[in-house]
Amino acid sequence: MRVNYDTLAKTIHSLTEGETDEVALMATLVCELHHADDRFDWTGFYRVTEPNLLKIGPYQGGHGCLQIPFSRGVCGAAARTREVQLVDDVEAFEGHIACASSTSSELVLPVFNAAGDVIAVLDIDSDQPAAFIKEDAQALTTILASVFSQ
């Protein structure tokens, strides 16, 4: 099953409207997202907890890495560059951190607050190669902005 982003956006809006706690928002969003698409093998947030460091936040799937420095991996690259990372083959990504051996491709999006600061990254792993497309990144960027940048 493939995610219907219009329906997902409406569901997330209805569930999160009026909520301001970032962890509560992350937990709700990741639960809805993880169960919306068969490609999503691991779905979670890594939160910026101190300068240049991400720590695991709400997630669905097997265990993730507990912390990731901005200098390492796909998640670190998204936080460091403030840009979406769309990786068709994680083995070809220099400095990839193998938190799960089943991961073949990855989509990581920076999460911005209303002030424009990176507060987290949304990490979506797939056990399928080249599972994600630009439309996934665009739709998720819009959803993240509607939830966290208000």
* Residue 15's CATH number: 3.30.450.40
| pLDDT over 90 (residue 94) | no
- What contacts 14, CB < 8 A, 6 or more positions away? none
40-85 per-position pLDDT tens digit: 999 999 999 999 999 999 999 998 889 999 999 999 999 999 999 9
Region of residue 50 (phi > 0: left; psi between -120 and 50: alpha; otherwise: beta): beta
- The domain of 125 spans 5-148
Q: Are 104 and 131 in contact (CB under 8 A)?
A: yes
Which residue(s) pair with 94 in the sheet? none
Region of poorest pLDDT, from 6-15, 44-53, 92-101: 92-101
pLDDT at 95 over 70: no
Q: Is the per-residue pLDDT at 22 higher than 70?
A: yes
Number of domains in the chain: 1
